[in-house]
Structure 1
Amino acid sequence: MAPSTCQGARGFSPLEAGLAFSPAALGSIVGAPLGVRLVRRWSLRPVTATALATAGLAMGSLMFFGLHTPLVWNEIMYVVQGLSVGMVIGPVTAALMSTLSLERAGAGSSVTNTVRQTGSLLGIAVGGAIMSITYRREIEASLHEMPGPVQEQARVSAEQARHAATAIHQPALAHAADDAFIHAMHVSAVWTMLIALFGAAVLVIALRPTRNPTDRAPAQVDVLESTAP
């Protein structure tokens, strides 16, 4: 469940909502060095692709979460999601930097950070747009008997709908806003999961194991030795 859900629908304060989401950040901190160690034992492709697929499934698990889901399940999902994302970002960043010379390390680090931040912003924008569109469609059925200004305010966000419901003493509108927001969260979770799984498939295809040119198969070595003068 997103921090905005905890803060709005569950009535948490901003600090409480931030603390509820903090396991994701802690998971990322632990996951980055853990991913680098796992890559040393296995290769980059299986570790990062599996981790990104796991992160996608963790995000998609939000479709099973509701307003009254025990918070402990949210915390478990946040830990898994943070660990998985960290296990992707850490090894991939290290692999990219290892291909650069020392003179280009600064420029490479800047480009990598820019791409990562841009991707995060695009992901937030796409997820937010999906949630906003879905929420407006879902809340529309509950606004027919409401005054025009209340309808406009309720369409903006679930938080605005709750404020409007309090002002006109219509608790049913607040409940409808919560239900519409949860539905929008479920739809956004599905799309986020699909995008993450697509990214995992891209990693499987793009991170093909490279073969050292000096490493020759035994059959090739036998052929070369038999043809040597």
Structure 2
Amino acid sequence: MFGGGNAALGLLLFAMTAAGFYGAFYLQGARGFSPLQAGLAFSPTALGAIGGAPLGVRLSRRWALRPVTATALATAGLAMGSTMFFGLHTPLARNEIAYLIQGLSIGMVIGPVTAGLMSTLPLERAGAGSAVINTVRQTGSLLGIAAGGTIMSIVYRRGIEASLRDQPRPVRDQAQVSAEQARHAAAATHQPALAHAADNAFIHAMHVSAAWTMLIALSGAALLVTALRPARQPAEVPTGTAVAAVTERGRPDRRP
């Protein structure tokens, strides 16, 4: 349980940080939000996590840790996947609803699963167990940013390549770096079409990254279902004056 639950938390942090990484560029770059506006737009995620943590604990006590957290993690994955339907002119209310569901679901997973994992360890190993959990979280977050950024970069370059064929080499080299650099090049050369092409290439790259992020989160939910499976209880041996015993021939024999 401890190893599988930790792996599921790592996958969750992987998906969460990847979604936050490209989400920030989506709001501040493609949508043109200021840093303050982008932070406020992401606030439902934080508020949802605050409310989801105690809710997840209560629901886990009422039902069980496994169905509550696995369902919540799957819901978080689907909320991350909803980014595949975001565009340049998506109503902000749709973004906020998705961010709220994502935060609420994540809060329902991290706290209860962490408490459940720690409860499986003896007291003398609690410190080591806590260190392992923190290390897995940080590693998952780091890999999420690295992988999310790599996928975004590869898909973006392929998406904007056709729009840069007739551009001078300095503009082409700058625009291939990122959508933000392409917007700067478009502003400097007075080419609104280039900025529009960069936005479209970025949105496509974000959609591809969102699909991968969703799959990672859903795989974490599947892992939770397996890792938190109740341990099988050994069969009780019947007691009494007459106990069935199996003879060498395989037939039951009643012994007083």
Same fold (TM over 0.5): yes
Q: How does 1:160-179 map to 2 (within 5 A)?
A: 160-179=181-200
What amino acid does structure 1 have at the position aligned with 2:77?
G
The question of 1:47 aligning with 2:68 is answered yes
CA–CA separation in structure 2 for the residues paired with 1:227 and 1:34:
51
Task: For residue 2 of structure 1, give the secondary structure of its aligned residue in structure 2.
Answer: helix
Q: Given residue 149 of structure 1, which amino acid in structure 2 is its aligned partner?
A: P
Q: How far apart are 1:225 and its partner, in Å? A: 3.5
State TM-score, norm by structure 2: 0.82
Asked whether the 8 Å contact 1:3–1:20 carries over to 2, the reply is no
Which residue number in structure 2 is paired with residue 150 of structure 1? Answer: 171
Q: Deviations over 1:71-117 (max 9, x none)?
A: 11101100101111111111110011112233332232222111111
User: Residue type of the partner of 2:130?
Assistant: S
1:70-109 superposed matches below 5 A: 70-109=91-130
Q: How does 1:1-229 map to 2 (within 5 A)?
A: 2-211=23-232, 223-225=238-240, 227=242
1:141-183: CA deviation from partner (whole Å, max 9, x where unpaired): 1001111111111111111100000000000000000000001
Take 1:187 and 1:212, find their aligned partners in 2: how far apart are those partners? 44
Question: Counterparts of 1:133 and 1:225 in 2: how far apart (Å)?
Answer: 71
* Regions of 4+ moved over 4 Å: none
Q: Identity rate of aligned residues, in percent?
A: 77
Equivalent pair of 1:55/1:80 in contact (CA under 8 Å): yes
Name which one, 1 or 2, has greater alpha-carbon Rg: 2
Q: TM-score, normalised by structure 1?
A: 0.91
Q: Taking structure 1 as reference, are residues 170 and 88 closer, same or farther at Cα in structure 2, changes over 3 Å only? A: same
Q: Using the alignment, how far apart are the partners of 1:63 and 1:226 within structure 2?
A: 68
Asked which structure has the greater RCO (Cα within 8 Å, sep 6+), the reply is: 2
Q: Distance in 2 between matches of 1:43 and 1:123?
A: 29
Question: What RMSD over aligned residues (CA atoms) do the two structures have, in Å?
Answer: 1.7
Render the CA deviation track for 1:45-70: whole Å, top value 9, x for unaligned: 11111111111111111111111001
Residue 108 to residue 146, structure 1, CA distance change in 2 (3 Å): same
Distance in structure 2 (CA, Å) of the matches to 1:72 and 1:225: 68
Q: Offset at 1:212?
A: 5.2
Which letter maps to 2:205? A
Opposite residue 224 of structure 1, the aligned amino acid is T
Q: Distance in 2 between matches of 1:205 and 1:136?
A: 39
Unpaired runs of 5+ in structure 2? 1-21, 244-255
